[in-house]
Amino acid sequence: MPYSVVVIDPGHGGEDIGTRGVAGTEEKTITLAIAQRVKTLLESSLGVRVVLTRSDDRRVSFDERAAIANNSRAGLFLSLHLNSSPNPASAGAEVIQLRQGRLAGGRGRVVDDESVALPAPGGTTRTVDLVRWETAQARHLDASAALAETLEAQLRTRVTMSARPALDLPLRVLPSVNMPAVVLEMAYLSNAGEEGLVQSDSYQDNIAQAIHDTVVQFSALAEERESR
Amino acid sequence: MTRRWLVLAGVAVVLLVLAGWAVSRALRPSEAPAEASAANTELVPPTAGVRHITATLFYAGSDGQSLVPVRQEIVLAEGVVPQGREIVSAQLLRPRSPYVSVIPEGTRLRAFYVTDRGDAFVDLSPEVTSRHPGGSTAELLTVYALVNSVTANLPTIRRVQILIDGQEADTLAGHIDLRNPLERDTSIIKRP
Ligand SMILES: [Zn+2]
């Protein structure tokens, strides 16, 4: 495995409960439960370290989530959420990546990262890449698209997919994440059937297994890219 | 003697507190009734004789994952900013049946202004976030009903930034990035 670390980001937390189902199921509770299930599965069967951006019920800011991910030097970042729609019949999983235009800083151009030479021991210099916090995701958009595609294919064999399963949206959590990253909306809590489903062991295991297989497949892809 | 003074002082304190309460009540802007009526008001066409325009407003598509454009008569106003206020105010109201609003109930327009770069700022009351159902789909519909209604009806406006209670905001419900102005998105519009 070229990846020794994977970051799983359980959406919402603390006073931010996320969305709520008709029967009262809270998004923040299910995202944490599934994140913990993913952590157990990946660590026991792949030997990777899984970093959770929160491991209990508390609020974590978007910048903190990105900082935890970036400091862990992980191979991929996956944010877990549950969805809501004005139509109670809306159902299924969606994989969302960052919309390209969002990294223009709202000014119509993508700002370039720069590198600087810093003095190193022995009178030499070393080059350090400076990555702009606001646009760190820019250099990973192709890899994030590949990650989204892999995850969608893995989910498709195990859970119901939404009528629009792949989306690119201006998501708040992604721009500062300096690695391939996507958001997974697992199911609709506004759908009574799916609200019941997401609490079941079998559903949570299916999601965890889809993520497991995505990590295996995506890291093989990354290894291939690196060896070329 | 001391006792009488104590009683008098006590009465004075009670009177002062009552007076303060009465003044603060009188000075408080009468927000609650306006809010309640706004939340329950259905969008009705302007009465005959009032000059009007036909605007395109956006409501929930039948799949719950898209917006439908609906032609609606609204009051004609002189200039981009007053017309923008009319458009957003109409978008916030409950639509006629069978359309379904994607704006949380009770949301009011606090301010609407336009920069010389052609960015509109739509400043909404806190209900737009505190009463939002959450979920990225519902949030996307709320955000782009506003962005699209402004840009579709005011050709000089290119982008829209949503403010909450006069402040820049991260998101409405935890997903869609509101830190920068957003351009129109026609990909979520479905013709009915
Ligand atoms: Zn969420």
User: Which pLDDT tens digit goes with each residue over B73-99?
Assistant: 999 999 999 999 999 999 999 999 999
Compute the distance between CA of residue A146 and CA of residue B16 in angstroms, rounded to an integer: 70
The stretch B44-57 carries a mean pLDDT of 89
Nearest CA in chain A to B185: A169
Residue A146 banded pLDDT, cuts 50, 70, 90: very high
A87 CA: distance to closest CA in chain B (Å) = 4
Q: Give the closest-approach CA distance of A85 to chain B in angstroms.
A: 5
CB contact under 8 A, B140 and A169: yes
Contact (Cβ atoms closer than 8 angstroms) between residue B112 and residue B120 = yes
The partner residues of B55 in beta bridges, in order of sequence, read B72
User: Residue A121 in contact with residue A189, Cβ under 8 Å?
Assistant: no
Q: Left, alpha or beta for A122 (phi > 0: left; psi -120 to 50: alpha)?
A: left
Q: pLDDT-derived band of residue B34, with 50, 70 and 90 as boundaries?
A: very low
Tell me which residues of chain B, numbers 29 to 48, contact chain A at a CB-CB cutoff of 8 Å: none
Looking at residue A103, its pLDDT comes to 57
The proportion of chain B whose per-residue pLDDT surpasses 90, expressed as a percent, equals 72
Minimum-distance CB partner of B174 among A16, A88, A94: A16
**For A95-135, how does the pLDDT look when each residue is reduced to its tens digit (9 = 90+)?**
999 987 655 444 434 455 667 777 777 778 777 777 788 89
Residue B15: pLDDT band (50, 70, 90) is: low
Give the whole-angstrom CA distance, residue B151 versus residue B160. Answer: 8
CA distances from A142 to A70, A112, A146, A148 (A): 18, 16, 6, 10
Helix, coil or strand: residue B1: coil
Is A190 within 8 Å of B174 when comparing Cβ atoms? Answer: no
Decide if B133 and A190 are in contact by the 8 Å CB cutoff: yes
Instruction: Find the range with the poorest average confidence among A13-22, A127-136, B21-30, B75-84.
Output: B21-30
List the beta strands (DSSP E) in B67-118.
67-75, 109-114
* % of chain A surpassing 90 pLDDT: 79
Interface pTM, i.e. ipTM: 0.90
Output A26 or A224, whichever has higher pLDDT. Answer: A26
> Look-up: residue for tokens 């990253």?
A181
pLDDT at A116: 72
Does A212 have pLDDT greater than 60? yes
| Ligand 1 centroid, distance to A81 Cα (angstroms) | 4
pLDDT of residue B157: 97
A103-117, A173-187, B20-34, B124-138: which range is least confident on average? B20-34
Contact call for A185 and B179, based on CB within 8 A: no
Distance in Å, alpha carbon of B155 to nearest chain A alpha carbon: 19
Indicate if the alpha-carbon torsion angle A195, A198, A202, A203 is positive or negative: positive
- Chain B residues touching A162 at Cβ < 8 A: 65
The C-alpha angle with vertex B147 and arms to B141 and B152, in degrees rounded to 5, equals 115
Mean per-residue pLDDT over chain B, rounded:
86
Largest Cα span, chain B: 84
Residues in chain A: 228
First-to-last C-alpha distance (Å) of chain A: 17
Q: Quick: pLDDT tens for A53-75.
A: 999 999 999 999 999 999 998 99
**Closest by Cα among B148, B65, B130 to B100:** B65
CA distance A34 to B11: 62
- What's the confidence (pLDDT) of residue A221? 87
**Is A42 a residue whose pLDDT tops 80?**
yes
Assigned token pair, A4: 């020794």
All domains of chain A, ordered by start, with CATH?
Answer: 5-227 (3.40.630.40)
| Interatomic CA distance for residues B189 and B88, integer angstroms | 18
**A39 Cβ under 8 Å from any chain B Cβ:** no
Specify the higher pLDDT residue, B156 or B13.
Answer: B156
- Ligand 1 centre to CA of A117 (Å) is 41
Q: Which residue of A has its CA nearest to B119?
A: A106
CB of A83 closer than 8 Å to CB of A190:
yes
Q: Nearest by CB to B65, from A101, A163, A189: name it.
A: A163
Determine the length of chain B.
192
Residue A2: predicted pLDDT: 58
The two three-digit tokens of residue A215, written as one number: 């990590």
Decide if pLDDT at B179 tops 50.
yes
B140 Cβ contact partners less than 8 Å away, ≥ 6 residues apart: A169, B175, B176, B188
Residues of A in contact with B185 (CB under 8 A): none
Confidence of residue B1 (pLDDT cuts 50, 70, 90): very low
Name residues 144-163 of chain A within 8 A of B (Cβ).
Answer: 162-163
Scanning the structure block, which residue is given the tokens 């009734």?
B33
Distance A102 CA to ligand 1 centre (A): 19
Residue for token pair 């070393």: A126
CB contacts < 8 Å between A and B, how many?
101
pLDDT at A100: 75
Contact A19 B173 (CB under 8 A): yes
Chain-wide mean pLDDT for chain A? 91
Assess whether the previous peptide bond of B82 is cis (omega < 30° from 0): no
Contact B65 A162 (CB under 8 A): yes
Instruction: Give the residue ranges of DSSP H helices in chain B.
Output: 2-27, 31-40, 80-92, 127-130, 136-153
